[in-house]
Amino acid sequence: METEILTNTQIQAAANYLAQGKLVAFPTETVYGLGADATRPDVVKDVYAAKGRPSDNPLIVHVSGPDMVWEYADNDYKTLATKLMDEFWPGPLTIIMPIQPGKLSKAVTGGLTTAAFRMPNNEVTLNLIKIFGKPIVGPSANTSGKPSPTLAKHVYHDLHGKISAILDDGPTKLGVESTVIDLSVDIPTILRPGMIDSEDLLKVIDNVNSDHHKVTATEVPKAPGMKYKHYAPSAQVIIVDDVNDFGRAISEYAAKDVPMGIMATDEVLQNVPTDIETFSLGKDVLSASRELFAGLRQLDNDHVKYILAQGFSDEGHGAAYSNRLNKSAGNAHYKN
């Protein structure tokens, strides 16, 4: 199958593919998603196959607005969910709620009685869903286990030949996936940290728990995605938490005499020897979040064996970056 690259004005062509039961990658403000008709189990199964994703890991249902949600979700959750939707939609917040029995297939929910809903903040994709007229499922449009795609070319690299089209809308603005909040439990619980943090959420709801700890293989995870190895480049990533340690860390790894790469802010990169591969994370944790996945992919293309990556505080907006970087590093931190 040829994978067609569509410009951001070819929305109708993308909608036509979806109507034919084909897979189309779509832009969002977080990362690119792999779109398919959420109401057709046969088509949703193709999404798992294209990504190589375990089928017990449920998918996000992307909608063009709250009305679409209430055709599927349990309407008892309307009051609570509407507070969040009013404040944060369209935006990087995925809301998990119980669904009306039989309204979404097992292929979407992984057999759970809940589903995840999100209205992305991207005009092209909102128009696509409106024109298509039905919700679309969308995991991140990468091969399962690889860094999520923040550019159309990342999607092409992983999925060309396996999907019909990619709707290209340039680089994604945030770079890390949405915050996932579960409303189906007594206290709303963050299952995956994103750019909307608990402090933001507490402005509109009374109480929020965090549950994005590392899930062991035998534990039944609340967000099944948490149990899989994620965001892993081929290189070993080592997190350097204190920028003052970079000099020493670089000397140590340089002594191993294998190619290495450094991912850090411009300030840190100023002092890195010119013969070492580098990737700029910009100036702060926001630019670092935007660039993280592209950096992991870039340094992988350069065939480095080790990546020394700058750590940031995991407070507030740093929570998402730290969570993804820790996963890509298998929690390996530089110790001097």
CA distance 102 to 262: 49
Q: Are 277 and 293 in contact (CB under 8 A)?
A: no
Residue nearest to ligand TXA (CB): 225
Residue number with CB closer to ligand TXA (40 or 173): 173
CA distance 95 to 303: 38
Structure tokens at 67: 């009305």
CA distance 297 to 102: 40
Q: How many residues bind Mg ion (CB under 5 A)?
A: 1
- 57 binds ligand TXA per the rule CB under 6 A: yes
Q: Is 101 helix (H, G, I), strand (E, B) or coil?
A: coil
CA–chain centroid gap for 180, Å, is 10
Residue number with CB closer to ligand TXA (18 or 96): 96
- 140 binds ligand TXA per the rule CB under 6 A: yes
| Binding site members for L-threonine | 30, 62, 178
Alpha carbon distances (Å) from 51 to 99, 141, 161, 187: 25, 7, 12, 33
DSSP letters spanning 176-229: SPPEEEE-SSSS-EEEE--SS-HHHHTTTSS--EE--PPPPTTS--SSGGGGS-
- 118 binds ligand TXA per the rule CB under 6 A: yes
What is the number of alpha carbons within 13 Å of residue 125 lying toward its C-beta?
34
CB of 4 to ligand TXA, least distance (A): 19
Scan residues 140-179 and list those touching Mg ion (CB under 5 A): 140
CB of 331 to ligand TXA, least distance (A): 18
Site string for ligand TXA, 81-100 (x = CB under 6 A): -----------x-x-x----
Q: How many residues bind ligand TXA (CB under 6 A)?
A: 30
Only segment of 115-123, 254-262, 264-272, 282-290 that touches ligand TXA (CB under 6 A)? 115-123
- 178 binds ligand TXA per the rule CB under 6 A: yes
Among 223, 268, 299, 329, binds ligand TXA (CB under 6 A): 223
b/e per residue 200-217 (b: at least 16 CB within 10 A): bbeeebeebeebbeebee
Residue number with CB closer to Mg ion (121 or 140): 140
Residue 59 contacts which entry, Mg ion, ligand TXA, none (Cβ below 5-8 A, type-dependent): ligand TXA
Q: Are 135 and 39 in contact (CB under 8 A)?
A: yes
CA distance 57 to 143: 14
CB of 92 to ligand TXA, least distance (A): 6
Scan residues 84-143 and list those touching Mg ion (CB under 5 A): 140
The residues of the shown chain that bind Mg ion, judged by CB under 5 A, are 140
The residues of the shown chain that bind ligand TXA, judged by CB under 6 A, are 28, 30-31, 33, 57-60, 92, 94, 96, 109, 112, 114-116, 118, 120, 138-140, 177-178, 180, 191-192, 222-225
